[in-house]
A and B are shown apart, each in its own frame.
Chain A
């Protein structure tokens, strides 16, 4: 009964949410039924229901080998680096941008750091190659010109988590900094005024006013990132690393690994099995981190 009264009472608000709900229904809930084919031997000609049930058979290919925990670790490690460094850098940029007094310079700086967000991964990959290759890469030429030994970066897996993180930060920090900047702009000027009267320095204002007040935004963005921590950014990693085998030990993530293992097989069931694994693990992590966030600060958790 309460439910009906609630709907009647707030019917216009609920109507407002309809498009969003519909979107979620079509793009988030409907496809969930597709997880069914992870438990079937799916053949296009037999359809979803006509295909044979095979239980957990499709999961075997992924968990049978010795690579699955390595690629799972890589996925979490790289995404962890991306979340921490990306958001950290974005926060720093937002605060620095906020301190700029000259509007023109602020706008120009903002545009410049935002720009890389629009460059496609494919182009980024070519830029990276132009930068790092051995024959005439910019970096190696610079090293040689300074009397240092050029390095074959594409044979050195240990440096690639750092390289990928730099690329990620370069591409996304500008984007996130805009979100932070919006949050900072929302902070009432009175806080700063009273702080100034009490003799707080700019640095103290940042530490004690700005950061605590945008902590919610930071936590929400981090939680959203954590929710996808089991998904490697395929466009980025495959675009940049591609099939360069020596880099696999540190850059191979769940998505690229399954892509390579399955690309010749055309097997939808096995890829669905991998996706189901990623989704379930993603769900578990976000529940855990949400609980932690709730413990720290009740208002900033997602649900």
Chain B
């Protein structure tokens, strides 16, 4: 008995030793391999590669959303067009929006062989960059990406640098992100209300619906912790002026730290409650207790499908205009139902402040073995006919071109997602199905001169000095923020708890952010 016990102890010990040795060797290997591949990427020659035929290479591209039904048709056509030049095959991997943050992070962290990946500041762009997952693109852009550079304004590149470098290709068709309330037009007309002009009109309409429509829930926004910027009360920040309350670079979705007046200062709601923000919170509470806001708002995971069901009178939405997929779905689920886009964002020159930061990016991970080819592909997508193919599908089958800058979608087999990988303001066509107002907004915001340039344009926040505080603060904020701004909890009580737990960390983040901003402004 005794012998066996000692023997098993020995066995365990030797196993542990073997483990340590084995792992040290293998991790050294991987370290070297990573180093090798990145240095290969940097020094690879042949600038004229795009003109001669290259070996076929399959690019693995990570995109958000659902795979369109006819994706394979478009891939086939694209591969045919590329066969004689850059000879790229496409392996597109679609990740559902709800899993995006987690899955892409695991892909990167595990070193999965990915050549192009979608990322965004509202996702985890800064963190992934500071964790060292992405390749800086300057060299690749100048060697293989001339067209991709040409179709984007210089402002767009300058404003979207991270820690002074271009780590990803900015994707955008406008300089100001659109925000919209999707409104059931048929219901509004049914009650004889004029087109909605103000927030008060909107709420009046919602009460009308509450009184008369038993099966329709008047208001819907987002309530899960990952979507705090589109909670009912916080969403109003996008549409109110004098002064505009802008979210900070340190806490992307939160209003707790904010900018106003374009003065380079970081304000903190815990220091002093902004009366307007408080009025949004109280308004949301009233709407919730009056039964206007969806009672399950904090538990709903898939908002789009709830909107699509047609049982919602007003929903918040992150673009200008009604997306064709939604208006089709609503019309199908509730005969006669129709959505219209209502926004209170103003089109007055200089009214909106922007830092020209785009919301979507494509990055090339350090682990990619085909960095040059990935850039060549991005460059290839910046040619009009290729852009049209990838953005809208096959002409005649999936879309109909309307002039040079508009299109009409045919069917639903190739849904719109250029924002995820190729978007640029030069090539993009507008949906001809949009209403006049929406098209006006898009055109207005395409011109950088119509917007006031934020003095923080080009600034990016390095979170590493306060990383512990940010993670702790996030965990605290997730507990209270959505409940507060969607009106599901008592404002005074919730705010007191939120403040008690979050104040210290928010303060440290604020101080660090202010320090970095001051350094940035001093160096300008």
Contact = CB atoms under 8 A, between A and B. Distances in A.
- Complex A-B, nearest 6 residue pairs according to Cβ-Cβ distance, in ascending order: A47-B31, A45-B132, A243-B224, A33-B23, A243-B225, A261-B475
A59 to B, nearest CB: 10
Given A25-B15, A135-B294, 6 more contacts: A64-B468, A135-B296, A245-B481, A260-B475, A260-B478, A266-B124
A134 interface: yes
B3 A3 contact: yes
Contacts of A135: 217, 294-296
B519 interface: no
A3 B6 contact: yes
A260 B474 contact: yes
B472 A64 contact: yes
A102 interface: no
A191 interface: no
Given A44-B34, A44-B109, A244 B298 contact: yes
Interface in A45-59: 45-50
Contact of A264 (B19, B22, B101, B501): B101
Nearest to B463: A265
A50 B478 contact: no
B158 interface: no
A155 B226 CA distance: 18
A155 B298 contact: yes
A248 interface: yes
Contacts of A21: 15
Given A135-B217, A154-B299, A243-B225, A47 B16 contact: no
A30 B23 contact: yes
Given A3-B7, A266-B105, A246 B471 contact: no
* Residue among B124, B223, B301, B479 with max Cβ neighbours from chain A (10 Å): B479
Interface stretch (B147-155, B170-178, B482-490): B482-490
B471 A266 contact: no
Contacts, number: 162
B3 A133 contact: no
Contacts of B298: 154-155, 244-246
Given A133-B299, A154-B296, A242-B301, A65 B472 contact: yes
Nearest to B10: A3
Interface in B129-144: 131-133
B488 to A, nearest CB: 6
Given A155-B488, A261-B471, A49 B476 contact: no
A30 B22 CA distance: 8
A46 B6 CA distance: 40
A6 interface: yes
A266 B483 CA distance: 26
12 contacts: A43-B131, A44-B133, A44-B367, A46-B31, A47-B30, A61-B472, A135-B296, A154-B296, A245-B479, A265-B463, A265-B467, A266-B108
Contacts of A46: 31, 132
Nearest to B253: A264
B20 interface: yes
Contact of B224 (A30, A33, A44, A242): A242
Contacts of A261: 471-472, 474-475
Nearest to A66: B501
* Residue among B6, B223, B467, B475 with max Cβ neighbours from chain A (10 Å): B475
* Residue among A6, A45, A67, A260 with max Cβ neighbours from chain B (10 Å): A45
Contacts of B31: 46-50
A268 interface: yes
A260 B23 CA distance: 30
Interface in A225-282: 242-246, 248, 257, 260-268, 270
B105 A263 contact: yes
A48 B32 CA distance: 11
A265 B105 CA distance: 9
A245 B483 contact: yes
B92 interface: no
Contact of A25 (B19, B27, B34, B505): B19
A149 to B, nearest CB: 13
Contacts of B481: 245
B18 interface: yes
A152 interface: yes
A49 B29 CA distance: 11
A2 interface: yes
Contacts of B480: 245
A276 B20 CA distance: 17
A270 to B, nearest CB: 7
Contacts of A154: 296, 298-299
A246 B124 contact: no
A45 B128 CA distance: 11
A100 B22 CA distance: 54
Nearest to A132: B299
B132 A44 contact: yes
Given A25-B15, A25-B18, A265-B471, A2 B127 contact: no
A154 to B, nearest CB: 4
